[in-house]
Amino acid sequence: MIAMPEEVLMVSRGCRVLVGISAVGASVLGLTSMTAPAFAADTALIVGASGIPTPSPSYVDAAQNLYLDPLGYGSYTPQVVTTPEQLYPFTGPNALTLNNSIPQGVTALDTSIRPQLAAGNKVVVFAYSQGAGVASQEAANLAASPNPPSPGQLSFVLIGDPSTPNGGILTRFQIPGAPPLSLPSLGLTFSGAPTTNTPYPTAVYNEEYDAAGDSPQYPLNILADLNATVGFLTQHLGFLSLTPAQINSAVKLPTTGGNTSYYMIPAANLPLLAPVRLIPLVGDPIADLLQPDLRVLVNLGYGSITNGWSPDPANVVTPLGLFPTNINPADLVTALANGAVQGVTNALNDLKTPQLLDLSPLSPFLSGLSTVGFTPSATPSLQDLLNVFAIIANTGSPVTPANFGSQLLSLPKVLADTGTALTATLAQYDAQLFSSQLASGNVLNAAGLPIAADLGVAPFVAVVCAVFPVLEAVATTVVQAEQLVGLVPNPLTYPVPAARAASTTSASTASTKPVTAAVTNTAPTTPVANTAPAAPVNTGAPVTSAIKSLTPTGTSAPVNAPVSTAPKASGTPAAPTGGLTTTVTDSGAHAPAASAVTGAGVGGGTRVTGTSGSSGHSTASTGLHRAHG
């Protein structure tokens, strides 16, 4: 892995500062000798997600405020770990494949963990999405090593975890007797160590209907598949822009034991209806009319009527199946009848106070992008979206016109690779799956599981590996053309708000608080250039719209207030369940709908979570969006 840049990386938590220092940087800062990094007593290693190789200060702040602090890790000093976090072709046509990115990330994380453990320090690893997959594999490697770390010294907090045993997209296709689903043309294999069966205390948070960590258990339900695919956009990108109230509403899932606790954050609305809500005037009434019954039908894809997650133990690897066998037909009929009545009531309530345009479905997507460094502002623009997609398509590196048009020229190969995966490769996998099930004497599974697997994976792969690359290629080319005529900064990179700029000048102007040197990662990979600090975390300042845009460098968008810099109390961290709602999932009840609470997450927007079957949808402090009982 490349070394941390020679700059001061300020984390806006008054008593903590990270400094990446190379040999040259050490002499510039007047340090005559630095043979080994200095370690704090307790360290929180912060790992990024796909497209976020080096977490920004806003990412770190949100991770601590929303997850680490409530779990008892408030006294731990944050340290950013740079990992590849690439996913061909989602993060660009020249990106590493997931099969190559994750092993390099594991090496980088291991390089950061071991010196801390050797020094006798306690370590908690926070990781998101692909980073959570990296952390899961590292935990399994450490547990199986000749001298494994003590469970009292190492713990993990993972969000949006694709390696979740029951629901993770990387584990859902691990069918006994059959090889793991592999798409070689995309470098994507649905395997890896599930987040379970290690001795290390671990808390895993997923959002309902997010395909990454909550993929349907019964993918013959095409409604559930499509809903989860849209949920990857509306749910998966928003973990660091949730409110504390939303996270506290998380349902603790049942397990068969072990040191890992699993939490599911309920979704207020079906992602599948998000496009409908964007229809002017009639979008919300139509969506709220359909949602109660549609939600019941979608939930059947998880083996439930009331919840969009599997009722089976969360720590047991649960592959996809054909049909749920635990559904009482009478309960289903009753739920649909009640849903029809509720839908009419909700639609009529919407019509009493018509809304010209509900942009709230876009809010989680855009607010989540602020974790990579963009400054949320009140008014979205097409240029903001172009900038975002262009940077994602360049694996986080600055966008320049030097390779003008290359993204478009790469599209035929990208689409060919995706097409191969969805046709020839899936056909080959189907044949293997058919043969393995037939050999075990299960004729029904032999006929049905290949179809279920195709329906479960095809929509997700099509969106991530075809739709997004096309949007990114177009955006990159437009941005490059704008750079050539001076309309867009060259290079285009993550914005550095004025409030942050002063903290990146030199060590002499940095805080005099204790400083720790970031561990230099040595895992080989392609260079990733994302070094500019990003927007501070919104600590609850009101927003004026349900949608937030992303403002490039040089604009006058206001900078959000930084998070509190009050030092955290020291002490032993609480167990992963400390301070969190741990509702038993047998009842499956969601938290009751409540008034919106603005939290410390990135973006600062709020969403109301309603009871199961309700149609409470996203809200902002403008009060434009309502919650129905």
Q: Is the distance from CB of 430 to CB of 446 less than 8 angstroms?
A: no
Instruction: Reply yes or no on whether 129 is catalytic.
Output: yes
Catalytic residue among 50, 58, 101, 129: 129
Residues contacting 152, CB < 8 A, separation 6+: 122
Report, in this order, helix, strand and coil percent for the chain, each rounded to 5: 40, 10, 50
| Contact present, 61 and 106 (Cβ < 8 Å) | no
Residue that the structure tokens 């470098």 belong to:
187
Burial group, residue 240, by CB count within 10 angstroms (0-12, 13-18, 19+): buried
State the Rg of the chain over Cα.
24
| Strand partners for 468 | none
Strands 154-159 and 606-607: unpaired
Q: How far is CA 132 from CA 26, 94, 105, 451, in A?
A: 32, 23, 10, 29
Partners of residue 183 on adjacent β-strands? 188
User: What is the rounded distance in angstroms from the CA atom of residue 224 to the CA atom of residue 211?
Assistant: 10
Sign, Cα dihedral of 314, 315, 320, 321 = negative
Q: Which residues contact 427 (CB under 8 A, 6 or more apart)?
A: none
Enzyme catalytic residues: 129
